[in-house]
Amino acid sequence: MAILIFFFITISFIAPSSSSLPEHHFHFTKTGLRHNTSSQPQQYIEISRPLSFTNLPPSCTFHILTHDFAYTMGLPPVSASYSPPANCSWTHVALQFNVSSKGEQYDRIAAIWLDGAELLRTSTAEPTDDGIFWTVTKDVTRYSSILVNENISLSVMMENLVNDVYTGVYQVNISFLYYNSKKMDVSLSNSYNRKMKPDNEIEKPADMIIPISGNGSEGFWFRIMNESDLHGQSVIIPKNTYKAVIEIYVSSHGYDEFWYTNPPDSYIQMNNLTTKRGHGSYREVLVNIDRMLVGSVIPFPVIFTGGINPMYWGPLVSIGAFDLPSYDIDLTPYLGLLLDRQAHFLELGVNDSIPFWLVGANLHLWVDNNCVLPCEVQAKVIDFGTPKFNIERSSSFLGLDGSFEVEIKRKSEISYWVNSTTGKLTTIIKRELKFKNEMNFYLSGTEKKIKQKVEEEIEVSVLSNSGGTISKTKVKRKFPLTITSKTISSMENDTTLMLSDLDHEWKEKKKLDGGPSTSLKNRQQCNGWVVVQGRNVLHGGATTQQTYSYDNEADCYSRTVSAANGKLMNDTANILCAAAPLKFGSFSAL
């Protein structure tokens, strides 16, 4: 059966046979696009709120690295020597990562490490003949315990390859900007404004950070190929540690780049498909201590700039593309285990993964400075509870059409106490994680609808020695995602027309009992079409609409932006609560 469709760009398309389903279904470059080269280089952006402490000029600036990433495939990271600027007093630090590029190039993954600890995971935008440029400014104050060290190494990994076709070189400048918030209005110094994380608690940076990372020969991340490919490191923590948090950086690549769209292996086998993008659509990053599961993350699906329809991502890149979120897991409940002066193995894996994932972590430790040896902090688990994990899968298909569903649920409750010089505090952490992915394939698999939901809720109650509640915090996080796509292939020209819609969002709410609440909503809705040949986009059109709103009662920011066919159409920012009285000192520091 052959359906002939005449599209407005006067190309005829013929419905595909199964074998002609494009292998690289979702990842493209704009190499075939005709550019209007009479234009200026264009600035690309990822929408986020401005950092609160960057209102004043920095006290010091350290331009640490300038490098052109051209032929860096297979090479170790580029490095530079770091020492904090002399005679500079600072309370906050921002990392500034500037990039410019011109020509044609794939989107690339990159990361920056300082002394082996990851500071930034980022991906590049695909350049144009006119040239593009962008800046990522990230609050790196939480890495202060590393930023004060002298003669350490900054390493940057960005594997790129340049040839006659892919001419884009990524020109990178990296700087550290040091700010002294003590010089500012006191109210400003109170909030750390980390992107995507509504954290209005006055959290002081960790006293010590231990990287859980690779040896650096191929970057400090671990390359995870499958679910049994676990990587980690032994750690011995100081005896006076009273709090431990593991921060996880993760990105998915290769056959798992679009893991949330992968059908089960049975579908691929039964249809004799050659694609390796399978193994179903559930993935979860797992953290173990001595082979015991202590935490997990279902990552937000960050879409790189060649993803789905590359026309979506100019000049507004996908949520997280320039500053991939990292995820914190509180390991304080396990201090009772870790505080025995013995080495313990911290390990990372990705459940159900196929090649490949880049995963790394930083272990943040807070020590009790009033407790010097032989004083020791004591900690003990009171009750591990009975962690529940449940997974259900269903799949029904006939030929290339069908529906697939996978659903997981995790539930845990753990209580423990920590006795430091501030007293003996008991904490109860309740966590619930829900994940659901539904896929429907129609019209011989040429039409797909993918719907995914990730929901996590964490409740932390801190009790005093006498049993009174000191604080209760609730965090809710939701990552809804919907993708629909239709493909119509033409045998004649080996081209495929792809129409798609995307709706994804990062939603987060944090509520401190009797205290302020914080909310963040960051949503993108995209719609467009492309004509692709292999992995190249020949023609296309797209619109992207983004709404961002952040509110922590003291500090609000909202922005609505839209782009169409590579141009910014509308950009309205509001600092809604500018008139409201600034609150500070009202958060109970734990």
Ligand X SMILES: *[C@@H]1O[C@H](CO)[C@@H](O)[C@H](O)[C@H]1NC(C)=O
Binding site for ligand X (CB under 6 A): 11, 36, 38-39, 63, 66, 87, 96, 98-100, 133, 135, 150-151, 171, 173, 175, 214-215, 217-218, 225-226, 228-229, 271-272, 286, 293, 351-352, 375, 378, 389, 391, 419, 421, 424, 493, 495, 538, 562, 569-570
Give the distance, in angstroms, between the CA of residue 573 and the centroid of all CA atoms in the same chain: 24
Q: What are phi and psi of 243, to 5 degrees?
A: -150, 140
CB closer to ligand X, 66 vs 369: 66
Least Å distance between CB 37 and ligand X? Answer: 8
What single DSSP character describes residue 217? B
Least Å distance between CB 269 and ligand X? Answer: 9
3-state secondary structure of 47: coil
Beta strands 556-564 and 536-551, pairing class: antiparallel
Residue that has been written with the tokens 């709410």 in this structure = 509
CB closer to ligand X, 58 vs 515: 58
Sign of dihedral through CA atoms 563, 529, 540, 308?
positive
CB closer to ligand X, 102 vs 478: 102
Extract the tokens encoding 257. 């780049």
Least Å distance between CB 375 and ligand X? Answer: 6
User: What does the DSSP assignment read for 127-156?
Assistant: P-TT-EEEEEEEE-GGGHHHHT-SSEEEEE
Least Å distance between CB 553 and ligand X? Answer: 25
Task: Calculate the alpha carbon distances from 203 to 323, 427, 431, 538 in Å.
Answer: 21, 17, 21, 49
Strands (E), 352-398: 357-367, 378-383, 388-398
Please report, as a single letter, which amino acid is at residue 376: E
CB closer to ligand X, 12 vs 586: 12
Least Å distance between CB 214 and ligand X? Answer: 6
CB closer to ligand X, 296 vs 552: 296
CB closer to ligand X, 151 vs 466: 151
CB closer to ligand X, 38 vs 396: 38
Least Å distance between CB 437 and ligand X? Answer: 13
Least Å distance between CB 19 and ligand X? Answer: 9
Least Å distance between CB 549 and ligand X? Answer: 14
Q: Give me the half-sphere count of Cα atoms (radius 13 Å) on the Cβ side of residue 31.
A: 17
- CA–CA gap between residue 174 and residue 48 (Å, rounded): 19
3-state secondary structure of 196: coil
Least Å distance between CB 391 and ligand X? Answer: 5
CB closer to ligand X, 135 vs 588: 135
Extract the tokens encoding 259. 């893991």
CB closer to ligand X, 70 vs 391: 391
3-state secondary structure of 68: strand
- CA–CA gap between residue 333 and residue 427 (Å, rounded): 8
